[in-house]
Structure formats: structure tokens, C-alpha cells
């Protein structure tokens, strides 16, 4: 019953997402005469806006159709089983009573998907899927594109309202209401993008950040301690450039993770790896 209800909510979220974009972009093209002229004149500005819409839609469905990394899908994977045996002596594992599988560190059971997710971040209702180890990078790019699209659309609605030659109040009111709605969405998406960028820089997840006091391997650590961090540059490199996401995370000893020199250790690692990373970016 609960799984079926969650599935309906997720499907409804996809429909709302589609309608919001179809109506928002449709009204903009319909009511903004200058944009119509630019589209039919094949100006680079309008074409670039349309390309951004298409790319954002494609990225949305890429994330929605991706797997976050379910533990049960890897049970018969020799590499996965070998990894568990390799770190079992130094890293504690837990067991999921629902899925009846071994949970590597940073794994959590998602009650919406009814599966255990590797490096669980959160369950997204709008995408109807979990965000985890295998699709967090795709999700970040989707949020980036969606934020850019929303801000651009907000600017266009403002121009349409400001430059509207027609004095018909229903049309102006519709433009104003849509502009205010898009402005609120832009603020929310910008905040979300900044938050997930911060998570990437510190090698954290939404679940670890918001439920820190409930997680056994984090609740006894200082609030500024990030036991999985490899330094800002190392974290970004792992997140953006790793061809195959890491499946296991070793938990550091308590005295090392909670020690006062944790920040210095992470800073040292960052400096050590910065030369290689930054040269790659150049």
C-alpha cells in the first residue's frame, strides 16, 4: 500500500513538472511578441534558449530513469562481494532487516523505493527516484541546468511584462503572476544548487548533513568534521571525474576522525592533491 502510494505521488510529480514547463514556456512564447520574433528570425539568443530547454528536459529524464545504486542489484556482482570481504575487517557493516542485505557504510534503506541505496542522498519526488552514489553527479547537472533555465525564464517574463505594449489587464496580470512564481522557483533552485555544491566540496550527502545526530558513524563527531573528505579539490575530482563511482567508504578510527587536527589533515591532503587536480583543469 505504501509503495503504491509513493509511486502515485512520484508519477504525479512528473506530471506536475511537465505541465509547469509546458505552460511556463508556452505562455512566454505566446505573450512575449519580441521572443516570437526572435524565434522565427532564428536569432542565436532565442535558439540558445530553446536548446537549453531541450537539454534540461533530456537531463531530467536521464536522472529520472537512472539507478542510484541499489545494493540488491549488486549482490551477485563478484567485484561487490570482493569489496565487502576486503574492508569487512576494518569497517563495520550493518544489515537491513527489510531487504535482508549487507549495508556498506553510507548506505540507507529508502522507504519510498523499498530498497537499500548506496551513498544515499535523498528520495526526489519530482524525479520519482532516489539520488545516490551512481546518479548524484547527473542530479547536480540537472539542478544546474534547471536553475539556469528558471533564471533565464524569469528575466524574459520580466521583460515581457515591462515592455508589454498591450494594456489588457488580464494579460499583464498573467505575466506578473507567472513572473513572481518563477522568481520564487529561481531562489529555491539557486539555494538547492549552492547546497549540493557544498555537499560535493565536503563529500557529504543530504541525509548525512540533515540527520547527522541520528547516524552512528557521525553523531559522536564534531559538527565540522567530515570523515570522508579528501579535501575540496580531491572531492570535486572524485565527484566529477571518476569513471566508476566508488562503492565502499572506509570509516576512519574515532580518534582520527574526531581529533582536533582533522581540518589540518584534510587541508594537507587538499594541498598535496591540488597540483595534479588543478593542472588537469588547466
Q: At 122, give phi and psi (nearest 5°).
A: -170, 165
Per the annotation, the verdict on 124 as an active-site residue is: yes
C-alpha–C-alpha distance, residues 180 and 182, integer Å = 5
Element (H, E) at 53: helix 44-64
Residue 114 DSSP label: T
Residue of 110, 113, 116, 124 marked catalytic? 124
C-alpha–C-alpha distance, residues 7 and 112, integer Å = 8
C-alpha closest to that of 176 among 39, 31, 50, 33: 31
| CB 226 within 8 Å of CB 266 | yes
| CB 70 within 8 Å of CB 103 | no
* Residue 5 Cα to chain centre, angstroms: 24
E-state strands within the chain:
94-95, 102-103, 108-110, 115-117, 122-124, 129-131
Catalytic residues: 124
Amino acid at each position: 500500500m505504501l509503495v503504491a502510494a509513493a509511486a502515485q505521488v512520484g508519477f504525479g510529480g512528473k506530471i506536475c513538472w511537465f505541465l509547469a514547463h509546458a505552460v511556463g514556456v508556452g505562455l512566454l512564447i505566446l505573450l512575449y511578441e519580441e521572443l516570437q520574433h526572435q524565434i522565427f528570425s532564428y536569432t542565436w539568443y532565442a535558439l540558445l534558449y530553446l536548446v537549453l530547454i531541450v537539454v534540461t528536459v533530456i537531463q531530467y529524464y536521464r536522472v529520472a530513469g537512472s539507478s542510484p545504486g541499489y545494493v540488491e542489484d549488486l549482490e551477485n556482482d563478484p567485484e561487490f562481494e570482493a569489496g565487502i570481504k576486503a574492508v569487512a575487517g576494518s569497517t563495520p557493516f550493518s544489515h537491513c532487516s527489510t531487504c535482508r542485505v549487507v549495508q556498506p557504510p553510507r548506505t540507507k534503506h529508502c522507504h519510498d523505493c523499498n530498497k537499500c541505496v548506496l551513498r544515499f542522498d535523498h528520495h526526489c519526488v519530482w524525479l520519482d527516484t532516489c539520488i545516490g552514489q551512481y546518479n548524484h553527479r547527473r542530479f547536480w547537472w540537472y539542478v544546474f541546468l534547471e536553475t539556469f533555465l528558471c533564471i533565464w525564464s524569469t528575466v524574459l517574463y520580466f521583460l515581457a511584462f515591462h515592455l508589454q505594449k498591450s494594456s489588457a489587464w488580464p494579460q499583464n496580470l498573467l505575466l506578473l503572476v507567472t513572473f513572481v512564481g518563477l522568481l520564487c522557483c529561481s531562489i529555491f533552485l539557486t539555494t538547492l544548487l549552492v547546497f549540493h555544491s557544498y555537499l560535493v566540496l565536503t563529500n557529504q550527502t543530504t541525509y548525512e548533513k540533515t540527520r547527522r545526530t541520528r547516524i552512528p558513524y557521525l553523531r559522536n563527531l564534531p559538527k565540522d568534521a567530515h570523515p570522508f573528505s579528501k579535501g575540496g579539490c580531491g572531492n570535486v575530482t572524485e565527484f566529477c571525474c571518476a569513471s566508476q563511482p566508488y562503492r565502499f567508504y572506509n570509516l576512519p578510527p574515532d580518534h582520527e576522525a574526531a581529533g582536533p587536527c582533522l581540518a589540518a589533515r584534510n587541508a594537507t591532503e587538499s594541498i598535496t592533491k591540488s597540483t595534479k587536480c588543478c593542472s588537469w583543469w588547466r
